[in-house]
Copies of this chain bind each other. A is one copy, B any other.
Amino acid sequence: MICMIKPFKFATIPRIIFGAGKLTELYEIIPEFGNNVLFVIGGKSLKQSGTWNEIVENMNKKKYNFSQVSIREEPSASRIDKIAAEYRTKDLDVIIGIGGGSVTDAGKAISAMIPHQDSIKNYLEGVGTKRPDGNKIPYIALPTTSGTGSEATKNAVISKVGEDGFKKSLRHDNYIPNIAIIDPELILSCPPSITAACGMDAFTQLLEAYVSTNTSPMTDSFAYSGLRYMKDNIIPACTTGSNDVKVRTAMAYGSLMSGICLANAGLGIVHGLASPIGGFFEIPHGVVCGTLLAEATKLNIEKLKEKGPEGRPALKKHAEVGALIAGKESFKQGKMYKYLNILVRTLEKWTENLEIDKLGDYGISEDDFDKIIQKSGLKNNPVQLSKEDIRLILKNRL
């Protein structure tokens, strides 16, 4: 017999169009919204791969009006404000973001801020005092990395790097993209180091959502499904399988699931640390997650063991992921410790094999720990951690 289902909420999800080559459906969908399009794209890679030329050609063929803006780094409030101000006075029916997490988030933020007159800073959690009202220009997201899952989340992360830095979210249920087109062919050209960092981010999101204190059977189903597809493909995606559509498809699916799950189940200590670390230092979000995941998971498991019977349900969730990695979709109670070890050892092996940078590689030192820890949060971490516990995670990845 299974447990009582606790009350839960589950936000709506984007209409999803998933599969290799599905970019072409974009041109059929645009008229559902109108004729005037703003593309939010990244720096070079979309152009280098020839995809951008192909898009321009198709847009011209269909006689759609369109313009584009480029996002070359994690989006700042001033960049979003500037673009929103520029397009506020123009006719715009739909915004289309094609890129990694930064681009997807930027497009989401622009679509949300065009109907406002003031700065996005006023609406950021923990920064401003106003609450977003959910008004926006319709938004279509096409990810070119498998990482943040932003194509399915209700928040856009806005960064300011430096001593008074932050990484904070603009968040509203209505900011979930109207449509997510996930075309793994767009991800084929993603280089190994970015694939690795993004992959570790998505895996972290799936694992943290699966063991979160705020799960539901719905998030558990999707997180498990995402983990199932990602576990065997994260290493190939960064190595021998980087040109294999099958591998990229599995990673893209895992990333999509991670976005839906984090939006509904929440995250844990790794993401609770990623926010201040990313605010203080110029370090890619995926690297922070990738570098901390194994250590944080090891510590969470230790702390859960110390709690005895009370920690058992969350330990079991961890063990289920270990069993899945070991190729078993169920496990006998007696083997829980074995599967917990498999989980930790696998994450450690991935961190090493994918050559995930350490925190010190980005100028972070032990002197920075206090300010990082002070601004960190546990989010929905499955077990309470003390400041000293968190310090240990950081120290082991310096």
Contacts and interface: CB of A to CB of B under 8 A. Distances in A.
Contacts of A253: 5, 217
A229 interface: yes
A249 B5 contact: yes
Contacts of A246: 4
A88 interface: no
Interface in A223-246: 224-225, 228-229, 232, 246
A69 interface: no
A18 B330 contact: no
Contacts of A9: 15-18
Nearest to A217: B225
Contact of A7 (B20, B217, B224, B330): B20
Interface string A1-42: 110111111111111111111100000000000000000000
A250 interface: yes
A19 B4 contact: no
A232 B12 contact: no
Among A14, A16, A220, chain B packs the most CB atoms within 10 A around the CB of: A16
A306 interface: no
Contact of A229 (B5, B10, B14): B5
A216 interface: yes
A21 B6 CA distance: 12
A232 B7 contact: no
Contacts of A2: 228-229, 232, 250
A365 interface: no
A246 B7 CA distance: 11
A54 interface: no
Contact of A218 (B173, B225, B328): B225
A221 interface: yes
A280 interface: no
A243 to B, nearest CB: 15
A224 B225 CA distance: 11
A7 B14 CA distance: 16
A173 B15 contact: yes
Nearest to A236: B1
A222 interface: yes
A18 B11 CA distance: 11
Nearest to A14: B12
Nearest to A223: B221
A329 interface: yes
A224 B5 CA distance: 15
A9 B15 CA distance: 8
Interface of A: 1-2, 4-22, 173, 216-218, 220-222, 224-225, 228-229, 232, 246, 249-250, 253, 328-330
14 contacts: A2-B228, A5-B18, A7-B18, A8-B19, A9-B17, A10-B13, A10-B18, A11-B15, A12-B12, A12-B14, A13-B13, A218-B222, A218-B225, A221-B224
